[in-house]
Chains A and B, each alone.
Chain A
């Protein structure tokens, strides 16, 4: 067991075998090589929590839960590094702007791919050029309902680039 202090979840005890190794880091966090997944079974959003920096946690989801027909094509070189395809699972990074969840997007182009046997992972850029890094998470109809629930009178629309 290893005690890890995190900003979002307090102090967590994580078994060594549960740690995930990203030898190349993750874009934006190249120096952080050790991560682990936090989340509840019935919660579609999981968090990829950094071990080295307790303040860094990436919200991720299983691709099928946000895009039912999702099928990323991964370059051979990336797959080679990850090992057997039967041992691999993917997550997509979900971007939920604070206070404006209707503007949520999901990065379908660059899934985080993990080999659950070797516990190695990496974020890859898929060959699917049709996949956006900022695909809207909700349809327009859904956004309208969300706005009505969360912040009546707010502007609709997907998060603008900053």
Chain B
């Protein structure tokens, strides 16, 4: 891994389209500004990994008719019974 030192206000260029600016340092957190083309996703890593896991699992699921009926709010959805 490449490790570089930057001061507040200084930037890094990744390729010629992605720019990362060090905005603020406070305690053990740093605030980063990121400029990137729309085709480049910028994500908090731990969150996007969780989303990816959920998506991958969802593609393996199947949708039985019982679930459909309930989602359709038919009378046999218990919470709809008054």
A residues at B contact (CB < 8 Å): 23-30, 42-45, 55-59, 61, 65-66, 81, 93-98, 101, 104-105, 107, 109-110, 122-123, 125, 133-134, 137-139, 141-142, 145-146, 149-150, 159, 162
Known contacts A61-B71, A125-B44, A98 near B61 by CB under 8 Å: yes
Report chain A residues within 8 Å CB of B55.
26-29, 58, 93, 107, 123
Complex alpha-carbon distance, A123 and B48, angstroms: 10
- B interface bracket (residues with beta carbon within 8 Å of A): 35 or more
Known: A27-B43, A30-B41. A146 touches B70 (CB 8 A): yes
Name which of B44, B58, B60, B72 has the most chain A CB atoms within 10 A of its CB. Answer: B58
Quote the shortest CB–CB distance from B28 to chain A (angstroms).
20
Report B-chain residues with C-beta under 8 Å of the C-beta of A105: 54
Q: Measured between alpha carbons, how far is A59 from B38 in the docked complex, in Å? A: 26
Given A29-B55, A95-B54, A95-B61, A24 contacting B66 (CB threshold 8 A): no
Within 8 A of A (CB), among B50-80: 50-64, 66-68, 70-73, 76-79
